[in-house]
Amino acid sequence: MSISLCMIVKNEELNLPSNLQQATKYVDEIVIIDTGSSDNTIAIAKKYGAIVKEISWKNDFAKARNEAIKHASKDWILVLDADEILYAKEGLKLKDFLKQEYVKKIDGFIVTVCNYIEPNNTVSAEKNKSLRLFRNNNIIKYEGKVHEQVKGYSKISEIPLIIYHSGYLKTEIIRKNKQKRNRELLQNSLVKDPNNLYYKYHLAINSYSDTKYQEAIDLLESIIPFFGGNESYAPRAYKCLIISYKQLKNFNKMVNIANTALKQWPDYTDLHYLKAVALYNIGNYGQALSELTKCLELGEAVVYDSHSGVGSTKPLLLMANIYYELGNINSAIEKLDKLVKILPDSPSVYAYYCDLLMKSNKNELVKKLLLNYCNKYRQLVDDLINELYLKKLYSLIDYLINNIKEISYKSALKYSLACVHLKNYDTAVKNFRILLNKVSEVEKRKLTINIFLCLWSLGRIDEAKSFINDLLNKETNDSNIQVFLMFANSLILNDKQELKKNNLSEKQIKEAVLLLVRELEPYQNNKIMNYLKVRFFTDNLQASDLIEIFDERPIPDCFVDIYLKDTNLSLLFKYKRFMSLSNRSETLYNFLIAEGCGLLSSGATLVKVYSKLSLCYQIKANKVRRNYLE
């Protein structure tokens, strides 16, 4: 059986070579329709022996697809886009498959399209089904100006063939302006056919992909009640609706929709996983663990559009998180042990694994594992050190740096910052000074800030002042540098000195201070951070400002009181902030207990609130608090 590869392209010189280099090995003919390229696309296509036809673009994908089919002469049509690749394993599978006897009775075959959604990351991918291989019989054609569909076949089947697609990477979407183009085509199609559920569905997915989640919710909820049971896209519609609510942090709504969808598709692993995520965020850890166990039992969702890992790696990671938060370190390690076997090269998983092993006093084992990892995955050492830094495993970074031969600038910087956290300021200063000679002017500012703060922390005030004088004496329009110099100058000269704001606006000062706070994070156990708070922040500072500053990172203890006075924040949010503190604050802990009891007495959901308090109790339990809780 012979195969014609049919494609439509425009300005695809970046993607086309890798596509055709693979495809030419497994197809007998290449037909390319060019819709107006202004780069080297046509020359590249001809280099690989393609039949190239140029047409003007009429805002109609089906018309362009059918034009390619018209020029194809082989038995079967294989449809690819330029940003899709048929790798060797899949290409060989395709040729062998078409030799089978039962293929004679089939008109077309559905394959799996694996959409990468993060660069160089096969783990973070979404898989969906698409009819891409069909007979060249002058009957099967495309219909639809956008999100075109294959029509005219009698019998189709599915084959375990995977096409890899990079077109949903954010860089590709931005480069090709795909969202805007598709949206306009869909809206034009809906003008002619306003009740077309398929077009409305894709318009909703367009909004979803463009992170317009409320808009996606409105569109999806307007069409789901009209589904008749035959829509192949219905399961994904529900999944995208649930994810949209997740992005808006409406976890109760996620659970309700997942329950509805699971009645129709009980074997859809993604729905079980998303329900588990919602239950975890609500605080219902028991039910979350049940759903995650179900995910592992079902495995990957082969027959649905699915995110990779929902039947394997993702449930194991979330289960480890839950067991850790429940204080069950051994069970968390057990899950991570399984996860590391599946993803042995994942820096984030490995760092988490080492973190929990350290908490179980398996220090020597951790050191051995880390050295083995660095020897085996040398190219990932920077990423591992970064993950260790995020986990606050500064002593492990110190151990690694002193036991591996070569390190990059990134790792050297993380090591220097780790030394700051370990209060080894002399070593930090030494390393920061070495790095000064290897970086750009922009990076020098960050290093200068850190050297100054280390010297100040060591009590070497004159040296700190001398070091910063070069910056103090230079004119600069950079508001970030100006604010740092204001801070440094007042820190050295006089704690009570009036802060000079020069000609900076309040907005400029706020933005610069937010950046400065982030850069001062390693010094959060030093009085520098408290001084910064006193000098720059007023009584009007809100918890929302701190959320913007620290995002998911630990907050300095001296900012805890701002969380305490914000009544709009949920108890769970405050609990997680408590968990994130480097030195878990007794003040915040007692506040959580008091607020929780107040919620209980006011008739709040007993299970939800008590589960949070019991977590606090497990971390800082004593007889008095136990009595208070009970």
Q: How far apart are CA 337 and CA 137, in angstroms?
A: 53
pLDDT of residue 382: 93
pLDDT of residue 496: 43
537-574 burial, b at 16+ Cβ within 10 Å, e below that, comes to beeeeebebbbebbeeebbbbbbbebbbeeeebebbeb
pLDDT of residue 144: 86
Bridge partners (DSSP) of residue 162 are 112
Q: Is 604 exposed, middle or buried (0-12, 13-18, 19+ CB in 10 A)?
A: middle
Cα–Cα separations (whole angstroms), residue 409 to 378, 427, 431, 443 = 15, 16, 11, 11
DSSP 404: S
How many residues can be counted in the chain?
630
Q: How far apart are CA 82 and CA 166, in angstroms?
A: 10
| Both structure tokens of 184 | 């306009």
Dihedral sign, Cα of residue 502, residue 507, residue 512, residue 518: positive
Taking each continuous run of H as one helix and of E as one strand, the counts in the chain are: 31, 11
Residues in contact with 326: Cβ distance below 8 Å, sequence separation at least 6, in sequence order: 285, 615, 618
Q: How far apart are CA 12 and CA 19, in angstroms?
A: 10
Dihedral sign, Cα of residue 547, residue 551, residue 556, residue 560: positive
Q: What is the pTM of this model?
A: 0.70
Bridge partners (DSSP) of residue 84 are 165
User: Which of 357-364's residues contact partners 24+ apart within 8 Å by CB, and which partners?
Assistant: 357/333, 358/393, 358/396, 359/329, 360/329, 360/330, 360/333
DSSP letter string, 52-64: EEE----S-HHHH
pLDDT of residue 617: 42
pLDDT of residue 459: 84
Cα–Cα separations (whole angstroms), residue 317 to 175, 246, 312, 420 = 34, 18, 9, 30
pLDDT < 50 positions in the chain: 119-123, 172, 175-176, 495-499, 539, 582-588, 590, 593-594, 597-630
pLDDT of residue 527: 56
| Both structure tokens of 249 | 């942090």
Going by C-alpha positions, the residue among 178, 184, 209 that lies closest to residue 199 is 184
Going by C-alpha positions, the residue among 518, 526, 618 that lies closest to residue 578 is 618
Each residue of 258-298: pLDDT tens digit?
999 999 999 999 999 999 999 998 889 999 999 999 999 99
Q: How far apart are CA 112 and CA 123, in angstroms?
A: 16
**Strand 125-135 relative to strand 76-79, pairing:** antiparallel
Task: With H, G, I as helix, E, B as strand and everything else as coil, classify residue 308.
Answer: coil
Which one-letter amino acid corresponds to residue 377?
A: Y
Strand ranges inside 445-575, DSSP E: none
pLDDT of residue 530: 59
| Both structure tokens of 193 | 């056919």
pLDDT of residue 630: 39
| Both structure tokens of 511 | 């933005």
pLDDT of residue 619: 40
